[in-house]
Each structure stands twice: as C-alpha cells, then as structure tokens.
Amino acid sequence: MEQVSTLERILRGIAISFVIIFFMFPILWIFLMSFQTNETILQVPPQLFFEPTIVNYEGLITGQLETAAGSLKIEFMGNLFNSLFLSTAAVIVGLILGVPAAYAFARLKFKGSEDIAFTLLSFRFAPPLLVLLPLTIYFQKIGLADTYVGLIWVYQLIVLPLILWIVRGYFEDIPADIEYAYRIAGHGFWSTFRKIALPLAGPGIAAAGLLAFIFSWNNFIFALVLASADKQPVTVGALAFITASGINYGQIAAGIVLSIAPTFALAMYAQRYLVEGLSLGAVKG
Amino acid sequence: MSLKLTNITKSFKDDLVLNQVSLSVEKGQTLVLFGPSGAGKTVLLRLIAGVIEPDDGTIEIDGLDMQGVEAEHRGIGMAFQNFALFPHMDAHANIASPLTARKQTKDAIEAGVQKLAKLLKIDHVLSHQPKELSNGQKQRTALARALAGEPATLLLDDPLRNVDAKLRFEMRLELPRLLKDQNATVIYVTQDYKEAMAFGDTIAVMSGHGIQQVGTPADIYLSPGNIETARLFGDPVINLLDVRPEKGAQGLQVQISQTPVSIAEGYSNAVDTDCILGIRPEALRFVDKDMPGAFPVIVEAETPLNEKTVNLMRTVNGRELMLSRPAGSPGPSEGEAYIAVNTSDAMLFEKTTGNRIEPLHAAAKSGDSA
C-alpha cells in the first residue's frame, strides 16, 4: 500500500476545505442572513455575531411583509404549496408516461426508436425560451395558460427526458434472460413488466423521480412566463421581495432557506440513488 | 413428431445466425444441440421458446404452428446457461412461478415446489434469495423452475456450464434419469461432447449457421459428416493428415511417414485426389517394427489425461500425431517407435469441401479384415 506523505495529506486537506468552503459558504451565509434584519445585513463591515431574529420567517409564514415603507402582503406559503404541488404532479405524470416509454425504448427495438428517444432528449438541448414564446400563444388560445394542468404539461419538457434516459439505462441493465424466463414460465407481457422489470429497475426509477423532482422544483423560467401570482412556485415568488422601497434581504434569505429545504433534505436522504442514477444515465446516454 | 423446425432462418441486423435450419424431435426423446459458441444454439432455443421470432421458417409443437403464439402459451420449460433466476424472489418463489402463472391453488403450488426441491436436494434453501445460493444450488433451482410447470417441451441451455466439476459430474449421472421421468421432449444445448454423448438420443451438430449432421451419438463419433464435426467430437482431437490415396501392391494405400499404409478398399473412388485422413487417437497403437502397416514415428511427449495416457508424436515428415491408450498400458514415452492403425478406423475427407467420403459399402466390409 502506498504511503501518503504528511505534506500531501495536509495539502489535500487544504484543497478539500477550500472546495467545501467555496460551495458551502453561500448556503451558510444565506442561512445566517435569514436570522438577521435588513439593517444588520447591510452593515459594513458585516457582523459575524448578531442578535438572531425570526421576524423574517414570521413574515413569510403569516404573509405580512413589514418594510420601511409599510406592510405588504405576500403569498410565500402559497408559492411553497404551488412548488410542491407542481413538482410532485409533474413527476407523477412524468413517471406514468416515461417509465413505460423507457421500457419500450430499452426492450422493443422498433423502427425509429433510437431517433424518437434522441428527439426526446434533445428537448434538453434547446434553451427553454425558444419554446416558451410559441407555447405561451398556444396556451392562451386553448386556455391552458395560467393553469396547473398547463404548467405540469410544460414541466414534462424537463421531467420526461430525464426519466426516460435514466430509467431506460436501468431497464437495459436487466438481463433479457430473466424476463424471458418469466415469460416462458407462463406469465404475460404486462405481468412480466410489473413483476420483473419494474421491481428490478426500482432504484433507477426512484433516482430518476427524485432528480426530476429537484429539477422541476428549481425551474424558474416556465413558471415566470406561464403562471400568474396564484400559481407561481417559490422560485418566481421570490421576486416579490424586490420591492419599490428596497430589497428585503432577510426575507429573501428566509425564503431561500425554506424553498431549498425540501430538495436539500431529499438529496441528502437519497444521495446514493442520485449519484448512481446520474452516473448510469451519463454512461448509457 | 413433437417438435418440428422447418427452414428456420434468423439474422440480427446483418449478422446471419441461423440459415435454413430444419430439425425434428420425437415425443419423449432428448435431442442434444452440440456446437462451438457462436453457432446459434442459444438463438435456436429462444426461437423455440418464442421469446424471439424467426425471420423465416416454421416451428411446430405437437403439430401446431407456433407462429404468433406467445412464449407463455407454448407449454415450454427452459433452464438458462446463466440460470436467469429472478433476483428479487427467493428460491421458493422462483420455482413456483410456472405454477402461479397457471393460477393453481396454494396447496398445489406448495406440493409441486416441495416435490421438486426434494428431488433436486434444495429443500433446505427454499427461503434463500438467489444471491445467497451457491452456483450448484442456483443451477438446481433453475432446473426445478424449468420442470415445475411439467412442460411437454423442455429446453436446457448448457445448464452444467457454470457449475463446478464435481457437481457437473453428479448431474451428468442424475440428469438423464430425471429427464426420462419427466417424459418431456428435451432439447439440450452443450459444448461438451461427453455431455452430448451421455444425454442425447440424437445429436445435432451445429456450426456455421446451420446443422452439420444429425445422428445417434455413435453415428456422430464413428462416422462424422465432415472434418468440423470430427474435430469437435473427441478428446484429444482427431488426427488429420493430408494424403493422396493410391493403388499399391496391397490394395488401396496412403503414405504416412513415407510408409504405405492400407486403407479400406471402399475408398477406391478417392484415388489420386487430395484428401485428409482422419484417425482417432485411440485407433492408433504401438506395434513391432515388422508388423504389416507399421510406420515409424518419433515420440515427443507423454501426458496423462484422466484414465488415458496421451502421446504426442511426429511422423518422419514432421507432422504431429496423437495417440491415446489406457493409462498404465505399456508404451514408449520418447524416442523412435512404430505405430499402426486398423484399416477400418481410418476415415477419409475431401480436402476441398471437408466432407467425409462415404466408403463404398461392399468394399468397406472386405477391407475390415485387412
């Protein structure tokens, strides 16, 4: 076994610390900011020690934003609910559509299947703005603009390619013989899909679902253009903190903490699945 | 006829795997598909099982055309070379799966599983997940699963390939009896000629996208249809020498080690053509110098091989020959020696096509005594 010299170990430690600080500091700072008032935040130089306050969280939860210019109503909790509802619904729809499709692409090599799969992936290449303008016009014509259904539909642009390509890789990894064996034992196509393919690709489906949830939670541009106040998710709702009388850093920070908390917790909980799912998707894709 | 394949052709993209394959198996008989890897044996099994469809040709089971009949309705049991156990179900559920598919009662399923598990000696590991089973137990579980539905047709894809030598030996003894009890039509795939000869009522030799020869084990061994088949059967492999049969004083003869050696008179039609002489290593024997037909060789090495001893030798012209004899029988381990072959044991193949030359029958008989 190779011995790592002391110097190398120290240098390695410094490098790792640097990376951690670089990436984690903003999150830590936001977390600290969320417990400060605008006055303490804007102090120069910044204070490391301060009197923590939960006024920001209070404001968010009650929906009353107290500013220097007076009180303002905001819909933060509504936004949080919208985010949760939109992302969950988008992922459920994405899984219902994407998992069978992924199975078809993995197992039934039909004419043009590769092209269709690639076209679906290519949705991820185009900047969302490219499709947004025509979509907005269509949606207004057919009455889908500013509806949950319309948003969930558009979210499929994010969710579906992701689920399709990750889950497909997992389906392809199941030895075909195992499915053949189940068929030959006397079970039909659907039963084989349900009892063999789905359980064996389970971790992949879970990973894809989690990733899709995080991606749709973080989406901003679709909701900005297609949703009005009462359908907006947190990402868009945070804009309300930029008011005529100034930017409420404290509340923004509290809002950010609340809005990243669910995805952060999910990511922590399912870390292993996520890494597996992502790397597998990368290899297969 | 229980199973009948007619002109089956299958290719994957541009790769032709099976070309015009026809086969038939009687009910209750065991047909061994024997051939090197890549010969299309597994593909043929999958076609019969119905998990892939042929490009052309028909498959009939009990007289019914199987085209468009899904795998689950063909009444087939199959054991895979890699076992293909369901990794998320325990051994019990694996074996029970053909029974649950038939919607049998709980008691019937339990009885069926227990009976097979006892027979195959895996009743103590029924609650284990596949990953907790040894290779031998996996193989028995896979076999039990294939048998559980009491299929009329049983497809076994090299089931002994991935198990250790001891178990393979045991199963070689057990399996034929087990298969006879099932009274199923069996197709058994193997790359091992000993297994082929032990299990097969009939052997079909596959190579080069098709079937080279179909026959009883003795047929295939004693009169292989071509050089390919002759080479695949037998260990050590058959000796093959370039020769040109000629008419000599003692009748038909070929030159080996610059010595004329008689061959069966039935090969008279091959005179003065380029041929390949095939001699099984066990058909050669050490003899005295004066014995008629004896030819000189230089013995280079001696290797024990199970119950045999194998000598590697060279002819005067430097061509390699192998001789095998019962272990412990006398013979030189090196240096000059004389060997001979029974006239009837030497086969001739056409050099251009590799096909065996069929000796003219009447003449072959008289040649036997020489």
Q: Under 8 Å CB-to-CB from B349, ≥6 apart: which residues?
A: B226, B227, B230, B240, B275, B276, B277, B278, B355, B356, B357
Q: Are residues A187 and A66 in the same domain?
A: no
Q: Contact at 8 Å (CB) between B160 and B128?
A: no
* CATH tag for B239-368 (out of 2.40.50.140, 2.70.160.11, 2.40.30.260, 3.40.50.280): 2.40.50.140
What's the pLDDT score for residue A285?
Answer: 34
User: A272: helix, coil or strand?
Assistant: helix
Find which of A111, A183, A184, A191 to mutate to test the B interface (most B CBs within 10 Å of its CB). Answer: A184
- In this structure, is residue A274 part of a structural domain? yes
- What CA–CA distance (Å, rounded) separates B138 from B129? 10
Write out chain A residues lying below 8 Å of B145, CB-based: 181, 185
Q: B3-12 and B153-157 as β-strands: parallel, antiparallel, unpaired? A: unpaired
The pair phi, psi for residue B318, each rounded to 5°, is 85, 10
A119-171 pLDDT, tens digit per residue, is 888 877 878 888 888 888 888 899 888 889 999 998 998 899 999 988 998 89
The terminus-to-terminus CA distance of chain B in angstroms comes to 43
Give the distance from residue B201's alpha carbon to the nearest chain A alpha carbon, in angstroms.
25
Q: Are residues A65 and A82 in the same domain?
A: no
Q: Under 8 Å CB-to-CB from A91, ≥6 apart: which residues?
A: A159, A209, A212, A213, A216
Give the distance from residue A119's alpha carbon to the nearest chain B alpha carbon, in angstroms.
23
Q: Under 8 Å CB-to-CB from B237, ≥6 apart: which residues?
A: B231, B281, B322
Domain boundaries, chain B: 3-232, 239-368
Of the candidates A178, A183, A200, the beta carbon closest to that of B72 is on A183
User: A285: helix, coil or strand?
Assistant: coil
What are the pLDDT tens digits along chain A (285 aa)?
566 788 999 999 999 999 999 998 988 888 888 888 878 888 778 777 778 888 888 888 887 766 656 676 777 888 888 899 999 999 999 999 999 999 999 988 788 888 888 888 887 787 888 888 888 888 889 988 888 999 999 899 889 999 998 899 889 988 899 999 999 999 999 999 999 999 988 888 988 998 899 889 888 888 888 887 778 888 888 777 777 777 778 888 888 888 888 888 888 887 777 676 555 544 433
What's the pLDDT score for residue B120?
Answer: 85
- What CA–CA distance (Å, rounded) separates B340 from B346? 11
How distant, in Å, are the alpha carbons of A47, A101, B199 from that of B174?
A: 83, 45, 10
Q: Are residues A131 and A244 in the same domain?
A: yes
Q: Under 8 Å CB-to-CB from A16, ≥6 apart: which residues?
A: none
The pair phi, psi for residue B51, each rounded to 5°, is -85, -20
Q: Are residues A105 and A220 in the same domain?
A: yes
Residue with tokens 């985010």, as numbered in its chain:
A83
- What CA–CA distance (Å, rounded) separates B275 from B267? 11
- Contact map slice: A 55-114 vs B, CB within 8 A: none
Q: Does B85 touch chain A (CB under 8 A)?
A: yes
CA angle B161, B163, B167 (to 5 degrees): 115
Residue finishing a domain among A73, A97, A112: A73
What's the pLDDT score for residue A2?
Answer: 61
Q: Are residues A36 and A164 in the same domain?
A: no
Find which of B72, B76, B78, B145 to mutate to test the A interface (most A CBs within 10 Å of its CB). Answer: B72
CA angle A55, A57, A59 (to 5 degrees): 70
Of the candidates A175, A180, A187, the beta carbon closest to that of B101 is on A187
Write out chain A residues lying below 8 Å of B149, CB-based: 185-186
Residue finishing a domain among A38, A58, A73: A73
- What CA–CA distance (Å, rounded) separates A194 from B154? 26
Q: Are residues A52 and A113 in the same domain?
A: no
Find which of B74, B94, B97 to mutate to test the A interface (most A CBs within 10 Å of its CB). Answer: B97
Asked if A180 lies within 8 A of B78 by C-beta distance, the reply is yes
The three state secondary structure string of A119-139 is HHHHCCCCCHHHHHHHHHHHH
Of the candidates A184, A186, A196, the beta carbon closest to that of B51 is on A184
User: B324: helix, coil or strand?
Assistant: strand
- Between A and B, how many CB-CB pairs are < 8 A? 63
Of the candidates A177, A186, A200, the beta carbon closest to that of B72 is on A186
- Cis peptide bond upstream of A45, omega within 30: yes
Give the distance from residue A273's alpha carbon to the nearest chain B alpha carbon, in angstroms.
18
- In this structure, is residue A252 part of a structural domain? yes
Of the candidates A180, A187, A199, the beta carbon closest to that of B46 is on A180
Q: Does A183 touch chain B (CB under 8 A)?
A: yes
Write out chain A residues lying below 8 Å of B78, CB-based: 180-181, 184
What's the pLDDT score for residue B365?
Answer: 45
Parent domain of A67: 6-73
Asked if B85 lies within 8 A of A183 by C-beta distance, the reply is no
Write out chain A residues lying below 8 Å of B46, CB-based: 180
Q: Does B84 touch chain A (CB under 8 A)?
A: yes
Q: Does B51 touch chain A (CB under 8 A)?
A: yes
Q: Contact at 8 Å (CB) between B53 and B64?
A: no
Q: Under 8 Å CB-to-CB from B155, ≥6 apart: which residues?
A: B45, B48, B49, B76, B77, B78, B79, B146, B186, B187, B189
**pLDDT below 50 — which residues of chain B?**
362-370
* CATH tag for B3-232 (out of 3.50.50.60, 3.30.2320.50, 3.40.190.10, 3.40.50.300): 3.40.50.300
In chain A, the percentage of residues whose pLDDT exceeds 90 is 27
- What CA–CA distance (Å, rounded) separates B129 from B85? 10
Q: Does B72 touch chain A (CB under 8 A)?
A: yes
Asked if A181 lies within 8 A of B46 by C-beta distance, the reply is no
Q: Contact at 8 Å (CB) between B347 and B234?
A: no
User: Please, which residues bridge with residue B203 across strands?
Assistant: B32, B215
CA angle A5, A7, A9 (to 5 degrees): 70
Q: Does A198 touch chain B (CB under 8 A)?
A: no
- In this structure, is residue A244 part of a structural domain? yes
State which residue of chain A sits closest to B50, comparing Cα positions: A184
Q: Are residues A59 and A190 in the same domain?
A: no
Q: Does B336 touch chain A (CB under 8 A)?
A: no
**Domain harbouring A131, CATH code:** 1.10.3720.10
Asked if A188 lies within 8 A of B72 by C-beta distance, the reply is yes
Q: Is the ipTM of this complex over 0.85?
A: no
B192-214 CB burial, b ≥16 within 10 A, e <16:
bbebbbbbbebbbbbbebbbbbb
Taking only Cα atoms into account, the Rg of chain A, rounded to an integer number of angstroms, comes to 24
How distant, in Å, are the alpha carbons of A250, B95, B118, B135 from that of B166?
A: 74, 24, 20, 12
Overall domain count for chain A: 2
Of the candidates A181, A188, A196, the beta carbon closest to that of B80 is on A181
State which residue of chain A sits closest to B84, comparing Cα positions: A178
Q: Are residues A122 and A65 in the same domain?
A: no
Q: Does A185 touch chain B (CB under 8 A)?
A: yes
- What CA–CA distance (Å, rounded) separates B341 from A256? 92
Q: Does B16 touch chain A (CB under 8 A)?
A: no
Residue with tokens 């053509």, as numbered in its chain:
B273
Asked if B71 lies within 8 A of A177 by C-beta distance, the reply is no
What's the pLDDT score for residue A101?
Answer: 93
Give the distance from residue B74's alpha carbon to the nearest chain A alpha carbon, in angstroms.
8
- In this structure, is residue A1 part of a structural domain? no
Q: Are residues A168 and A279 in the same domain?
A: yes
Nearest one of A112, B218, A213 to A104, comparing CA atoms: A112
Of the candidates A180, A196, A200, the beta carbon closest to that of B51 is on A180
- What CA–CA distance (Å, rounded) separates A110 from A130? 30
Please state the separation of Cα A154 from the chain's center in Å: 14
Residue finishing a domain among A73, A101, A116: A73
